[in-house]
Amino acid sequence: MKKLLAAVTFMAIMAAGAAFAAPEYTIKVGYIGSDTHPTMQAMKVFAKDVDAGSNGKIKVELYPNAQLGGDRELCEGVQMGTIQMAIPSTSALAGFDKRIQVLDLPYLFTTRKAAFDAVDGELGQKLNTYLSKKGFEVLGYQENGFRHVTNSKRPIKTPADLKGLKIRTMENPMHIAFFKELGANPTPMSWGELYTALQQGTVDAEENPYAMIDDGKFYEVQKYVSETGHVFSYEILIANKKFMDKLPADLRKVVVDAAHKAIMTQRASLEKEEAAFKAKVTKAGLTANELTPEQKKPFVEATKKVYAQFENELGKEIMDIARKVQK
């Protein structure tokens, strides 16, 4: 009886040990936004799905709030393999392959559907091949949203209203170029520095989708938000290509499938919640002004030069695809 009890106890200990065995792989995911942003909410589901689908062989660790650095640092970390995944703005990848800037052409897309049809189709496929050669595996594109201008001076209703405004932009040559065409004074700056810069008046303005305006609490240090919608901005879920390539086929499928589910969840969430984000920031003190299609025309005309300016730099191949999918 004692031997039987000992055997049962031993088997129970062994089973428990197997259940709590260390994972074979760890995926660190970096993001600049907060833990409550819809992107991180979707990634929490991703983490659970990967854990369940891999039977605990893969552990996902989430690092929001720029804990692992800004978008540029996150991209560098993924490329080097010090972190396995990140969710930067696509704009942050311009320093790794300048052709990704095609997504930042002003007024390239006027609807979410057109924007996602493009990156889920020919345009995205071509960009993914470029990034693959730089050590990135693209797991998909998700929504950051249409970018709007906030500032502490005045509503923006015409390009003339931007004249002389010191506006923070991402470290992206395309954004810098088209804000110069609009008469503003663009100042590249990381996300982590932005709130303080606005608070101290180092810059007058910034541009972001409503979700990020809320996430950054910019309503505390800005007075106006103008719905210029000058760029449809994407987040991109990137992974270290070598890490993905070394995963066994079954585990790789778990990760890819979970990533696709998280991306589609994030897109749906952002679309559903945008009105709520707008309501929140305006209730908190921002004065919003919409721009009609007619009011946007002078902005579109003023930034057309940017297409010609970047034609040679980005290359005819990707610019031709962009013009084909432009809507």
Domain coordinates of the chain in residue numbers?
Answer: 2-325
Measured from the Cβ of residue 282, the count of other Cβ atoms closer than 10 Å reads 14
Query: In terms of Cα–Cα distance, which of 279, 237, 232, 203 is closest to 85?
Result: 237
**pLDDT grade, residue 172 (50/70/90)?**
confident
pLDDT of residue 45: 96
- Gap between the Cα atoms of 83 and 74, Å rounded: 8
pLDDT of residue 8: 43
pLDDT of residue 90: 94
295 sits in which H/E element: helix 293-302
Measured from the Cβ of residue 301, the count of other Cβ atoms closer than 10 Å reads 12
SS3 264: helix
The string of pLDDT tens digits covering residues 202-225 is 999 999 999 999 999 999 999 999
Token readout for 261 is: 């589910």
| 286, 150 Cβ separation under 8 angstroms | yes
| 32, 88 Cβ separation under 8 angstroms | yes
**pLDDT grade, residue 22 (50/70/90)?**
confident
Whole-model pTM? Answer: 0.85
pLDDT of residue 21: 63
Share of the chain above pLDDT 70, in %: 94
* CATH classification code of 2-325: 3.40.190.170
- Gap between the Cα atoms of 234 and 80, Å rounded: 23
pLDDT of residue 139: 98
| 119, 242 Cβ separation under 8 angstroms | no
Query: In terms of Cα–Cα distance, which of 162, 146, 159 is closest to 203?
Result: 162
- Gap between the Cα atoms of 252 and 236, Å rounded: 18
Determine which of 8-12, 91-95, 227-231, 256-260 has the lowest per-residue pLDDT on average.
8-12
Measured from the Cβ of residue 295, the count of other Cβ atoms closer than 10 Å reads 15
